Chain A
Amino acid sequence: MRIWLAIAFLLLSVGGSSAAIDAVNVYEPRKFGHFLGDTLERRVEVITSGNTELFTAALPRPGALTYWLDLISIDHSEREENGRRIYDITLKYQIFYSALEAKQLDIPSFPLRFKHPNSVAPDGTAPSEPSDASQPGNYTATVPALRLVISPLRDIVLDDLMPEKTGDISDVMRPDAVPQEINLVPRERLLWVSAGALAASVILLLWHYAIWPFARRAKRPFTQADRQIRSLQSAGAGDAPYRDSLLILHRAFDQSAGRRVFAADVPEFVAQHQRFSSLLPSLKSFFESSQLYFFSDDRRAAEDRFPISDLARLAADLAREERSAA
Chain B
Amino acid sequence: MRLNSIWTFLASQRGSAFWLLAAASVLWFGYAAENLIYAKRTNENIRLLVSRHDVPVDIKRAHPQELLARIDESVRRDHIDDAQSILSIAGDRLPPPVRAAALYNIANTRTRLAAEAVRRGDIDSATAMINLAKSEYRLALKLDSENWDARHNLDVAMRVVRDFPPGDNPDLSSPDAPKKLWTDLPGIPKGLP
Could you list which residues of chain A lie within 8 angstroms of chain B, going by C-beta atoms?
35-39, 58-60, 65-72, 94, 96, 98, 105-108, 110-111, 153-154, 156, 160-161, 163-164, 166, 169-170, 172-182, 184, 187-188, 190-191, 193-195, 197-198, 200-202, 204-205, 208-209
Contacts and interface: CB of A to CB of B under 8 A. Distances in A.
Majority secondary structure of chain A interface residues (helix, strand, loop or mixed):
mixed
B104 A179 contact: no
A176 B72 contact: yes
B77 to A, nearest CB: 14
Given A96-B141, A195-B32, 4 more contacts: A69-B173, A107-B175, A176-B108, A191-B29
Interface of B: 14-15, 18-19, 21-22, 24-26, 28-29, 31-33, 35-36, 39-40, 42-43, 46-47, 49-50, 63, 65-66, 68-69, 72, 101-102, 104-105, 108, 111-112, 115, 118-119, 121, 138, 141-142, 145, 147-156, 158-160, 165-166, 168, 170, 172-176, 178
Contact of B154 (A36, A39, A60): A36
B36 A195 contact: no
B138 A187 contact: no
Given A174-B149, A182-B65, A191-B29, A60 B118 contact: no
Contacts, number: 173
A35 B155 CA distance: 10
A160 B172 CA distance: 31
B143 to A, nearest CB: 11
Contacts of A111: 176
Contacts of B153: 173-174
A93 B49 CA distance: 37
A98 B50 CA distance: 32
Q: Name the 3 nearest CB pairs between A and B, nearest first.
A: A177-B101, A169-B115, A37-B151
Contacts of B154: 36-37, 96, 98
Contact of A153 (B15, B101, B152): B152
Contact of A38 (B68, B145, B160): B145
B136 to A, nearest CB: 13
B131 to A, nearest CB: 11
A33 B168 CA distance: 21
A173 B156 contact: yes
Contacts of A37: 141, 145, 147-148, 150-151, 154
Contact of B21 (A39, A94, A204): A204
Nearest to A65: B175
Contact of B104 (A67, A106, A177, A187): A177
A108 to B, nearest CB: 5
B54 to A, nearest CB: 15
Contacts of B145: 37-39, 94
Contacts of B172: 66
A60 B68 contact: no
Nearest to B178: A58
B151 A181 contact: no
A177 B108 CA distance: 10
Which one of A111, A175, A182, A209 has the greatest number of beta carbons of chain B within 10 Å? A182
Contacts of B49: 179
Contacts of B39: 182, 184, 187
A67 B166 contact: yes
Contacts of A69: 173
A187 B66 contact: no
Given A37-B154, A163-B160, A184-B36, A110 B142 contact: no
Contacts of A156: 155, 159
A208 B176 contact: no
A72 B175 CA distance: 12
A150 to B, nearest CB: 12
B33 A178 contact: no
A149 to B, nearest CB: 15
B112 A169 contact: yes
